[in-house]
Amino acid sequence: MNLAAVILAAGKGTRMKSKLPKVLHNLCGSPMLSYVLDAVTAAGVDQPVVVVGHGSDQVARQVAGLAQIALQTEQLGTAHALLQAGPFLQNLPGQLLVLGGDTPLIEADTLAGLVRSHRSSGAAATVLTAEMVDPTGYGRVVRGQQGGVCKIVEQKDASPEEKRIREINTGIYCFEVAGLFEALSLVAPINVQGEYYLTDIIEMYVNEGRAVGAVLLKDSTEVTGINDRVQLAEVEQIMRRRLLRDLMKSGVTVVDPASTFVGRKVRVGRDTIIHPFTLIEGSTVIGEDCVIGPGSRLSNTTVGSGVTVQNSIVLDSLIGDNCNIGPFSYLRPETRLGNGVKVGDFVEIKKSLLGAGSKVPHLSYVGDATLGEKVNIGAGTITCNYDGYKKSPTHIGDEAFIGSNTNLVAPVEIGARAVTGAGSTITRNVPADALAVERAKQNVLPGWAARKKEKK
């Protein structure tokens, strides 16, 4: 059976006080609209239509390839918004889901349940409703003596008696497409706000004798709308708990969910342990049996299995299996580590390739460098990759041993198995198997210190 969906997302979101359209604000690293799109798609909709208006270009770019776009140039109300999607749907047989782009907690199962109930009852429209302890601001569901839905009345238009109703309109509906757009074109903006209300359809249908159904949602948190940044943060917390729960159920240990932040696109393998105060963002993929954190941030990074990362930042990088990172490492974009690499404390790596088994254990900067396998970089080594004008590369061959506190002035090449003396400033290439030392001869003056002390 045919199921279509329209997501209303043209509103400005005035209370967000933002340049960014409301539906593009992030929750756990993804725009809130993307959660709604995913839920709709998972409920069985092929190409949802998104109605855009405020920030239409930005919103359209975000959903490109995932949805069709209908433009509402003026925000005249929800009925008017849905009408703009008409050209995409009018001739479709079947059912239409309608929902706002600002309820990202909505679950696919709930939408599918609404559609099921709608289809089995044969209603022309079915409203998803919820009981709210505090229904302020929502449209109220007015029921008749037989218990059927009669109409939906907005907060601003409600009588004192109607305002006491705690069953609210979630703004999520399932409609028969047949007759819907004809009815929408008859909605008039006769209300306190002077808007074309989609909710007027309900009373219209009831008056025409078309059946209207309602599905009462058990857990109303699912339809929490986001209107300001306080609600954004509240929903973020709920979403975060959900994502972490899914991770834990899939076999990942999250030691302290309250201080762990994992984006929704992140994938983590079984038996990996995530310690507190850790952020894992973007398209990061982590293998099995890793220990991540405490106090780490990984962004858009692919991590193999058996890796430890503690108190470190890793951005846009590729980490092989069994690597050991931190504490206090900073791996900047385009870092690639082969298997079994160690990057220790107070080390910065930028745009460099470190071959399998190489070690940079302490206090070093490695930038624009290529290291072969089993290279050892002594403490305090610096690749001098920038001369104030341009960046230059450093190449270090397999099993080379770079003495502590070496300056490698790029461009420079160190051959395989070559050694540099501690404290050397290397400005010329070093052939394979050679030793390069650049260091003033040490002077030793016997008794000098003792004599100085006596004078004083």
- State the residues that interact with ligand UD1 by CB under 6 A: 8-11, 51, 53, 72, 75-78, 80-81, 100-102, 138-139, 152, 154, 168-171, 197-199, 225
# of chain residues touching Ca ion (CB under 5 A): 1
> Residue 194 or 447: which CB sits closer to ligand UD1?
194
- The residue at minimum Cβ distance from Ca ion is 225
> Residue 154 or 236: which CB sits closer to ligand UD1?
154
77 binds, among ligand UD1, Ca ion, none (CB under 5 to 8 A by kind): ligand UD1
> Residue 152 or 382: which CB sits closer to ligand UD1?
152
9 binds, among Ca ion, ligand UD1, none (CB under 5 to 8 A by kind): ligand UD1
Q: How far is the CB of 157 from ligand UD1 (least distance, A)?
A: 9
Q: How far is the CB of 224 from Ca ion (least distance, A)?
A: 10
> Residue 84 or 358: which CB sits closer to ligand UD1?
84
Establish whether 395 is a catalytic residue: no
Q: How far is the CB of 180 from ligand UD1 (least distance, A)?
A: 15
- As beta bridge partners, residue 324 has 308, 342
Q: How far is the CB of 108 from ligand UD1 (least distance, A)?
A: 19
Contact flag: residue 282 with Ca ion (CB under 5 A): no
C-alpha span between 385 and 62 (Å, rounded): 38
198 binds, among ligand UD1, Ca ion, none (CB under 5 to 8 A by kind): ligand UD1
The first and second tokens of residue 100, run together, are: 């706002």
Q: How far is the CB of 54 from ligand UD1 (least distance, A)?
A: 8
Q: How far is the CB of 181 from ligand UD1 (least distance, A)?
A: 16
- As beta bridge partners, residue 212 has 125
> Residue 78 or 406: which CB sits closer to Ca ion?
78
> Residue 94 or 225: which CB sits closer to Ca ion?
225
Contacting Ca ion within 187-226 (CB under 5 A): 225
C-alpha span between 303 and 365 (Å, rounded): 21
152 binds, among Ca ion, ligand UD1, none (CB under 5 to 8 A by kind): ligand UD1
> Residue 172 or 375: which CB sits closer to ligand UD1?
172
Q: How far is the CB of 102 from Ca ion (least distance, A)?
A: 6
SS3 sequence of the chain: CCEEEEEEECCCCHHHCCCCCHHHCEECCEEHHHHHHHHHHHCCCCCCEEEEECEHHHHHHHHCCCCEEEECCCCCCHHHHHHHCHHHHCCCCCEEEEEECCCCCCCHHHHHHHHHHHHHHCCCEEEEEEECCCCCCCCEEEECCCCCEEEEECHHHCCHHHHCCCEEEEEEEEEECCCHHHHHCCCCCCCCCCCCCCCHHHHHHHHHCCCEEEEEECCHHHHCCCCCHHHHHHHHHHHHHHHHHHHHHCCCEECCHHHEEECCCCEECCCCEECCCEEEECCCEECCCCEECCCCEEECCEECCCCEECCCEEECCEECCCCEECCCEEECCCCEECCCCEEEECEEEECCEECCCCEEEECCEEECEEECCCCEECCCCEEECECCCCECCEEECCCCEECCCCEEECCEEECCCCEECCCCEECCCECCCCEECCCCCCCCCCCHHHHHHHHC
The first and second tokens of residue 302, run together, are: 């692919």
197 binds, among ligand UD1, Ca ion, none (CB under 5 to 8 A by kind): ligand UD1
Q: How far is the CB of 168 from ligand UD1 (least distance, A)?
A: 5
Candidate list 25, 80, 275, 362, residue with the active-site label: 362
- The residue at minimum Cβ distance from ligand UD1 is 139
Neighbours of 244 (CB within 10 A): 20
154 binds, among Ca ion, ligand UD1, none (CB under 5 to 8 A by kind): ligand UD1
> Residue 113 or 225: which CB sits closer to Ca ion?
225
Q: Which residues are catalytic?
A: 362
Binding stretches for Ca ion (CB under 5 A): 225
